[in-house]
Structure 1
Amino acid sequence: MSTHTAAPDPDATPASDPASDPASDPVLGFDPTYGYDLDALLAVPAPEPPADFDAFWQGLYSEALDVTVAPELGPLEYEQDGMRVHGVTYTSSGGFRVGGWLTLPADGEVTRGMVVVHGYGGRTAPETSLPGPGTAAIWPCARGLADRSLSPEIPSLAAEHVLHGIASRDTYVHGGNAADVWCAATVLRELVPQASRLDYVGTSFGGGIGALALPWDPRFTSGVLVVPSFGNIPLRLTLPCLGSGEAVRAHHAAHPEAVEVLRYFDAASAATRVNIPTLVAAALYDPAVPPPGQFAVHNGLAAGVRELVVLSHGHAEHEGAEAEAASLRGAINHFLSRKRA
């Protein structure tokens, strides 16, 4: 395991020291470190998945590969940071029409591809500074989420979206969201066939969905999962938070049988099946996605493929945030710039 710390300016004073102050936040009403220091976080396990976990996910992947994605590439919307930005739509599993963007190098030289998935807040534009030279990237808005995949059938609020279809593993929305990733990869290959290498980058919601999607799709060469959600569901159900996990906790309290569905969508369990180089950026302090779940995703990865960037904070403003974000971008760019077999 390779571990890095995305540290703020050493001359800056941190807003707080999560590892040394386990007391509950007086505003939040709970401790966003959950009493874990780094050593304890590195010991959080990935839960054992259901016996038919692999078969279930392989079935979903097979269905997604059979989809006729029928991509429609829109005209040039604008050019920024050396990237040309186009709107794109395509068909995913269940016939859902996904919207998003395709970014292409302005010089026309494409050598690699990237699928980039947002957090639960959705996305209003691609981050054109992320892809490296020669990268064609697709930026899908996951089904039901802003701003190009909104649907009257799927609630867009995170607290409602995360519960959509939760009564059955066959209807739970996160299965469809993983299919949106696989179909996005198909679209990229159809529209930009010269993008032979394929990487994945996902943050928060996108980090968790990425962990669920990556094990089954051999087209991906590497993955980056930033503050990934949905890790170690049994533990998450015991931890209060400000994110979508709190809606799941409340639902589970009223419907304890839901855990049997959620076990199929545990990002940490899925991480144990990932066999490509994967960088996880996990936070010591995070009120929205509890750090033990984030680290469980990293810990579930095999020692030979995982890298870790330790963040001081996730989903929270803090002193030194800009420097830490820059350090994280550097670590991600370095990871993605490496040659892969």
Structure 2
Amino acid sequence: MDRRPTPPRTHPFAFDPTYGHDLDALLAVPAPGNEPPDFAAFWQELYARARAVAVDARIEERLPAGRPGEPGPDGPAPAALEAYRISYTSLGGVRLGGWLTLPAGAEPTRAAVLTHGYGGRAAPDPRVPIDGAAVLQPCLRGLPALSELPQIGTPHVVQGLASRETYVHGGCAADIWCAATALHELLPATRGLRLDYLGGSFGGGIGALALPWDDRFASGHLTVPSFGNHPLRVGLECLGSGSHIRARHLADPSVLDVLAYFDAATAARHLRIPVHVGAALFDAYVPPPGQFAVHNALAGPRQLHVMPFGHFFDHPDDAAEHARLQSAVRAFFAEPAACAA
């Protein structure tokens, strides 16, 4: 942990996005105490099924040179990249889209899977803080712009929540595993390279669920990870996906029995590779106690970058805070995976 920032003093929200927690209180938030006895077995079986998928990865289009990726607050892309639109098959036979970025004019020396928030990914992000990396940027099932599916409606977070076998988050974790397979299929040389994971918000929570079971990943970064400590989260007023889970829980408290298998903090207890977490003191969309529950439960080497706020894009310090986070993530991924502690 690098510093002790302070949350914003003023905000437009009708509730307190710190939830009465200071940093010391957040560092004490645990994972849920009721891990299902077959939690690991459930995920290991799901992973085995995903690894058996014939992903049939394809490059669909090469993007024109110089075409910009998603706008970012931390300046231009640090290096020239080649970018491609790709597709691959994931668990259940769903065909997904995504993007592949490569260092221009050079062989990749690293590999990574980079996911997204609930907004999906409309274009490749060129600002991956790992130099020389081949990066598969999948659009996970049901999300824009390349993987919207008629069988997955909105709000995404409650789709299939009737059972653990049908809940959409299991499929999204499988999409990450199949994305790694697709990257290795498109670029066989990457099988011999260090493979890392990066995900934020939705992608941070899904990453925490997916990473413990796939030993191809050497290390990971999770920004403001969602889905941590569901029994706690359903009692916290919030915006976004958490509000839909709260509403479902109010109508049917038994959903916690399904969500127990998709708790990012519970999964973190099984995650033993080095992980860097960017967690916020103030967040109206992903309550900080849930974010810190994920970090606090990590079973392996961990680093924490504390941010004063998350999901507060109109804040005047947003660009500066994003740049600080990117610098911390870059430093983490520059370390040898075995020493990232």
TM-score normalised to the size of structure 2?
A: 0.91
Match of 1:152 in 2: 150
1:173 is aligned, of 165, 168, 171, to 168
- Note the C-alpha offset of 1:6: 8.5
Superposed counterparts of 1:61-72, under 5 Å: 61-72=47-58
Q: Which amino acid aligns with 1:173?
A: V
Superposed counterparts of 1:177-326, under 5 Å: 177-195=172-190, 196-302=193-299, 304-316=300-312, 317-326=314-323
Question: CA contact under 8 A between 1:221 and 1:340: conserved in structure 2?
Answer: yes
- Note the C-alpha offset of 1:191: 1.3
Question: CA contact under 8 A between 2:7 and 2:282: conserved in structure 1?
Answer: no
Rate the CA distance shift 1:41–1:63 in 2: closer, same or farther, 3 A: same
Rate the CA distance shift 1:104–1:287 in 2: closer, same or farther, 3 A: same
Question: CA contact under 8 A between 2:136 and 2:179: conserved in structure 1?
Answer: yes
Question: CA contact under 8 A between 2:205 and 2:228: conserved in structure 1?
Answer: yes
Match of 2:76 in 1: none
Question: CA contact under 8 A between 1:6 and 1:309: conserved in structure 2?
Answer: no
Match of 1:162 in 2: 157
Paired with 1:126 and 1:299, the residues of 2 have a C-alpha distance of: 31
Paired with 2:148 and 2:95, the residues of 1 have a C-alpha distance of: 10
1:29 is aligned, of 2, 10, 14, to 14
Question: CA contact under 8 A between 1:112 and 1:194: conserved in structure 2?
Answer: no
* 1:100-148, Cα deviation, whole Å (9 max, x unpaired): 1011110231111100000011111121121432200000011000000
Rate the CA distance shift 1:15–1:60 in 2: closer, same or farther, 3 A: closer
Question: CA contact under 8 A between 1:6 and 1:324: conserved in structure 2?
Answer: no
Paired with 2:43 and 2:269, the residues of 1 have a C-alpha distance of: 13
Question: CA contact under 8 A between 2:58 and 2:186: conserved in structure 1?
Answer: no
Q: Unaligned stretches of 5+ in structure 2?
A: 67-78
Paired with 1:86 and 1:149, the residues of 2 have a C-alpha distance of: 16
- Establish whether residue 85 from structure 1 lines up as the match of residue 83 from structure 2: yes
* 1:10-68, Cα deviation, whole Å (9 max, x unpaired): xxxx88348xxxxxx6x432110000000000000011310000000001000000000
Paired with 2:148 and 2:4, the residues of 1 have a C-alpha distance of: 34
Rate the CA distance shift 1:59–1:15 in 2: closer, same or farther, 3 A: closer
Which moved further from structure 2: 160-169 or 108-117?
108-117
Determine helix, strand or coil for the equivalent of 2:2: strand
* 1:163-203, Cα deviation, whole Å (9 max, x unpaired): 10000000000000000000000011111122221000000
Match of 1:41 in 2: 26
Paired with 1:337 and 1:248, the residues of 2 have a C-alpha distance of: 37
Calculate the aligned-residue CA RMSD, in Å.
Answer: 1.5
Question: CA contact under 8 A between 1:89 and 1:99: conserved in structure 2?
Answer: yes
Paired with 1:45 and 1:176, the residues of 2 have a C-alpha distance of: 26
Paired with 1:131 and 1:185, the residues of 2 have a C-alpha distance of: 18
Paired with 1:161 and 1:75, the residues of 2 have a C-alpha distance of: 28
1:16 is aligned, of 8, 21, 27, to 8
Report the identity percentage: 55
Question: CA contact under 8 A between 2:7 and 2:308: conserved in structure 1?
Answer: no
Question: CA contact under 8 A between 1:45 and 1:296: conserved in structure 2?
Answer: yes
* 1:296-339, Cα deviation, whole Å (9 max, x unpaired): 0000013x511100000100032322111111000001111112
Determine helix, strand or coil for the equivalent of 1:138: strand
- Note the C-alpha offset of 1:99: 0.4
TM-score normalised to the size of structure 1?
A: 0.91
Q: Which amino acid aligns with 2:65?
A: E
Question: CA contact under 8 A between 1:6 and 1:328: conserved in structure 2?
Answer: no
Paired with 2:164 and 2:207, the residues of 1 have a C-alpha distance of: 18
Paired with 1:224 and 1:130, the residues of 2 have a C-alpha distance of: 11
Paired with 1:331 and 1:53, the residues of 2 have a C-alpha distance of: 32
Question: CA contact under 8 A between 2:140 and 2:147: conserved in structure 1?
Answer: yes
Paired with 2:267 and 2:167, the residues of 1 have a C-alpha distance of: 16
Rate the CA distance shift 1:32–1:165 in 2: closer, same or farther, 3 A: same
Q: Unaligned stretches of 5+ in structure 1?
A: 8-13, 19-24
Match of 2:46 in 1: 60
Paired with 1:204 and 1:15, the residues of 2 have a C-alpha distance of: 18
* 1:274-307, Cα deviation, whole Å (9 max, x unpaired): 01000010000000000000000000013x5111
Question: CA contact under 8 A between 1:69 and 1:183: conserved in structure 2?
Answer: yes
Aligned length: 322
1:75 is aligned, of 44, 53, 61, to 61
